[in-house]
Chains A and B, each alone.
Chain A
């Protein structure tokens, strides 16, 4: 759960007054809360913890981290978690 997956901000919107964004993690796109990174813009990379963007990172280190996760077999695990919630938390 402490694993933070880097992703790229594709778009930014508001949801009940909270700053949210669509973030792309190696192909899986998720809604992520951007409230803690008021300066982040579309095209920026960020590290995401349990649905919250926590710190901005540069593209090169984001891609290196994704590669490491893939090598470790962790990316699939994390992406499954990312995908899984659509089924798990549905009404």
Chain B
């Protein structure tokens, strides 16, 4: 495993960590919402540089991890339908559904294809007018502009054989749900830099105010993360609770306005179940009424499929930050990236996979 101390910026990192140690006088729990940040923190050992007062809690920001089991089962049903070309981002293929995953459907002869961009799925629909092309559109606000544009273009081009199974989730309602949940320990949030590059920062000041919680928009390089942590700790120690942008080189207050316009046209808010967590009000997007014809859930009549989670998997607690991955009894035993019981062990953005890949076997944090 590569440690932060090996990097050219190691000096700055150590100085930042020392500064955090100097200002932290009490224990604070800070949640990083974004799975990309979790990956970077564990991979670089950022958490191990911090003083004992500051604990990082890993949030639910891995899109693959929180995609509801129902959605996976619906995807599997559609992918197994004869004549369908089913397209997905690569990391969804191994996510376990109730009984199997997309890989096994592919193994049985299903036409399941990995695409890099949803536009690739639109191109497949152009190239195969005789086939139904379905794209599994999951993700946070970050992937929404791409998915929204893909379905908008398909509609413009009259591609009747293109549809999307949409399961988008949103960060601000998740922050609200975490703050409202009984037993919440989170004192401050690092907001996901790339989500904010699309949406801007304007959604967060009301949350910071209402829950009296500092929120700092943060990038995912080690120094970005340490700077974000330093700013949250400073706010906590000074009794402030504000929105700060520590990723101004990428994120603006208004975000990407052309992208937000297309999202608002194509998607509509919906109550969304989060895998392992449950339903969070208005926490997702579905296709808006004008795009019904491209809604795979309607076209393939899969809305009735419901599912039950494996009792062994503790991913819900991991996603809420009440359990560290290596405290799960199945971690590294029944559950590994090759034999994942939960989605958090599949995606490289998932907390369980991040711990496994970094060799974090024990709770002590020693690697």
Contacts and interface: CB of A to CB of B under 8 A. Distances in A.
7 contacts: A2-B34, A16-B157, A33-B146, A35-B258, A36-B256, A55-B256, A77-B348
Contacts of A50: 89, 116-118, 139, 143, 146
A2 B250 CA distance: 15
A49 interface: yes
A85 B256 contact: no
Interface of B: 2, 7, 34-36, 40, 43-44, 61, 63-64, 87, 89-91, 113-121, 123-124, 127-128, 139-140, 142-143, 145-146, 149, 153, 156-157, 192, 194, 197-198, 221-222, 249-251, 256, 258-259, 262, 347-349
B116 A49 contact: no
Contacts of A3: 36
A64 to B, nearest CB: 7
List the 9 closest A-B pairs by CB distance, nearest first.
A51-B117, A85-B116, A89-B120, A52-B146, A36-B259, A88-B114, A50-B146, A68-B221, A55-B197
A47 B250 CA distance: 9
A1 B143 CA distance: 8
Contact of A71 (B2, B121, B153, B249): B2
Nearest to B115: A89
Interface in A73-91: 73, 77, 81-82, 84-85, 88-89, 91
A81 B142 contact: no
Contacts of B256: 36-37, 54-55
A72 B2 contact: yes
Contact of A4 (B113, B142, B262): B142
Contacts of A35: 149, 258
Q: How large is the interface on A (under 10, 10 to 19, 20 to 34, 35 or more residues)?
A: 35 or more
A85 B115 contact: yes
Contact of B128 (A54, A84, A91): A91
Nearest to A20: B119
A3 B198 CA distance: 13
Contacts of B34: 2
B300 to A, nearest CB: 21
Contact of B123 (A30, A65, A89): A89
B194 A4 contact: yes
A82 B127 CA distance: 21
Contact of A64 (B113, B118, B153, B221): B221
Nearest to A78: B116
A58 B249 CA distance: 8
Contacts of A91: 124, 127-128
